[in-house]
Structure 1
Amino acid sequence: MQVQPRCYDWGESSERAVSVLEGEAGWLSCPLFSHPSVYNYTSMQSAGHNLVWYRLPEGHELEQPITYSARLTRERERLWLQPATADDTGLYICMLRNNSSCSKIGMRLKVLRPNEVVRGADCEPLVAVAPTQEVIPLQEGKMLHCPDLQEAGKMVDKNTTVTWYHVWRSHSGIRCTKAPFWHNEREQKGLSLEFHNMIVPYQGLYFCTVHLQRKGQTLNFTRSINVSAVYPSSLPKIPSILNPSAHQVFTVKQDTEVRLVCTGLFPFLDSWWEIWWTVDGKTLEKLADNRFTNINRQVKYDFGDRTEESVLVIKDFQPEDLHREFNCSVKNEKGFETRRAQLQEEVSLPSMELGCGLGVTLVLMLLLFVVYHVFWLELLLLYRSWFGTDERHTDDKEYDVYISYARSGEEEQFVLSTLRSVLENELGYSVCIFDRDSLPGGTITDETLSFVARSRRLLVVVSPGYASQGSQALLELKVGIDSMARGGHLRVILVQYKPVRRQGWVRELRRARVALALVRWQGDKSRELTSRFWKRLRVELPVRRVSGGEGVALMRLHSQNSTNSQTGLITNTVKDTQKVFNSAA
């Protein structure tokens, strides 16, 4: 009795799985002959081996011998489907056997219907096979060959033709063009497509549809190629480290997780590349410390040049790690570079002391702000009394203040009994009042000009009757504004004795009000020497030195003064003398 040889089963080959579009030609090559050094078809035939194909249809459990026909034929180690149908889907087994040995391997065939094919655009040809990848350097040329054409050409008759298509994205959308192309930089030569000069717009998917004759039948199949542009091969291809830089220092903290980032640039090469970390000259695989791990990722891909990042993660960083040597290295077939990471320990500030110091500083700043906001007027007076310049030592003026007012009973009473009395008796200013200090028989105009010229300040008491009670007051105002505009040392101060409607202000007063200081008298509220009225007025008047006790007295604050000191600094002081001069003119 003859004993059947035991058959060695290689299982199913996942790498040799085949997809075919329904209606197109397809073929299966026995995977046993994918390594000619192990199995060679010619030598196996000479040794008496026979190649037999079996099929296991989907949903079946038993292998079935293949019945050959005009559509299904075998040529050497290939099984031809001309054309393929959806029922051809299944597992195909090729068995190589003789009387003493047997080997078999399976491969899967998937026949796709047209509606099962996913396309990026409606104009794309139907393709069942995944696209192959091709790169072409910019400004260089290359010949593009249709995939599987060389293998199919060994088993077909002559008169094979190929049609090329290009699918590319433009600003207006996806476009499909058919060879011959508009530019002559891409030209079909025979069955191949030649690129004379690669540029960026030539990237994209290229489709080649093959029409061939085999045993009197016209067959076709379509393949696709994804073409990408890369930087020219004439550029330097040595890798470099972008980060860390030569002088970069990583700040680390004890007992925390530390991450050291290394970034390398690898110019395009159709070969291997590598980026890695070493600790004290050892790679992480050889380092017996699971605290050290690394994470690699691609940061950027630009026309073939890739930027890669490698992060060295150090868990629970220890003080002795500061003395270790951490090096990042990059390498490809053209060169090598390494760089050491420099570490320094983070200086931790005492949080409690820092927080207390910051809190005290903020409280002091807040207190100073409140004091200044409430007592700014008193502080300004105190500063002037200590550091201000006494104008009596810098000019030859006779009077400190010349008072201009309406010659009426109430206003005159206010000037003589209140203003003059306080300024002369309490504050020590020399005051000039025309009706009191002028000599009988003099000319009003000349006397007025003389008094104003010999005074350091012109104090104008504004009231409803100021403009209507004669021209003496207006003359004094005009003289003061003219003197101020000519660059003299005279300054004009407006004191509002009673509210005046805007319509009641004469033209000279309306224009002067824009640029001159205005101090408001508020009746009984302003009678106290410590009131806001007298403090504001003293700010406008010439500086008078005070003794130490008097300076302290200036800081005393009455209750009504606290509520009335909420305005800004002296915003009503003289702003623009030229503006006043123009107004007076």
Structure 2
Amino acid sequence: MADLCSRPPEVLLPSSNQTLEPALGSQITLNCTVRLPFDQQCIPALHWMKDGLLFGNESSQYTSELQTWLSDNETEAFMSSILRVNLTSDEEYGVFACLVRNTTATFTLLRSEAAGHVSAVLAALLVLGLLLLTAAIYAKCRLNMLLWYRNRYGELEINDGKLYDAYVSYANSPDDTKFVNFIMKPQLENRHGYKLFLDDKAILPNSEPSADLIMNVSRCRRLIVVLSHAYLEQDWCNNNFREGLWRLLELSQRPIFVAFESQYREIEHPAINLLKQHKKVVTLLLWRADSMTPSSDFWKELCLALPRKVSYQRTMGDPQTQLQEDKDPMLILHSSYLEYRGDPHPEGDLAGVRGSILRGPPPPRMTDPKVPPALAAGIMEDVQLEEGQRSEIDISDLGSRNYGARTDFYCLVTEDDL
């Protein structure tokens, strides 16, 4: 009998000492269940403690429920006590223990800060603000960034034999002529350094490219079409614009079409719908009311569609001409016959005056005292005339050479020849 009353109970719940972190203001339930041998003369008692002290009358804020039951053969008894704790203050936290015959099961309650939503909301707003700021900066500076990257790392279209950067096709109407000659041409040539070939004739007469068109477009790196009301009235635009578009795609890679916003909304031409459907192979730009300023998006988009320009000093030659090894004497920068190396016989020079760089040697000095001065002067003029007729530089083909793309000409006439 004494052995049964002295045997320690077996703690079923909790299986081990538990540590809980409930939030302040919540309610928590602690369950302590034990099993022990049953004897009617040995009835155990279950008590709750907090921080090593038994609950007394002052612990009325805690509510507990005790349940007991026997096993089927009535050899074992089970005791279960449920303690409910309202965590209204920091004093409610601590170490709770259930005591049965000097056997304890402990519950450690630690305060846990409630998950606040303020920080999460602020973080979400911060991320959203950064995304909106990034989107605004991208929308505002996208073209500038693309231009900077293209001008720094873009592909150079040089040594390709092209004479012009763009072939501009427009209708022979007053409005289109003013736009091309007084707006587009000065902006692209004077500000951005491009060279344009202007053509106000029908680009596809009879829907077939002419030989002149093929030759002229082959000399240009890009094709620009000013798509206005007057341009769309041409025969090839009204009759078969789809076939004409494929012709243009064969002649030039990704042609550029410029439409006016005021006319773009009113145009009900099938060409507009066709260009919208093929935006991947063509570039469609709109001239708006604010496109007149040099820093507008229209000019940035147009420059992105045009080839990258090569920057070089004025004293240097065009890198395209240098890479093509142009042997034209007018275009050679350091020609041997243009360099003055000094007269090896200075004593033969008249009065020590150096001759012109491109002229022949001075005429022989007339030393015969019997020859009259007038006759000597005539002889000298005849000699100079003969020397002038024998030019060391062949200039017979100067009229057929194209120097329109050059800006660093050499003048073959000196001040002494004037």
TM-score by length of 2: 0.44
Task: Name which structure has the greater RCO, CA cutoff 8 Å, separation 6+.
Answer: 2
Q: Hey, which of these two has a bigger chunk of strand by percent?
A: 1
- More helix, by proportion: 2
Q: With structure 1 as the length reference, what TM-score do the two structures score?
A: 0.34
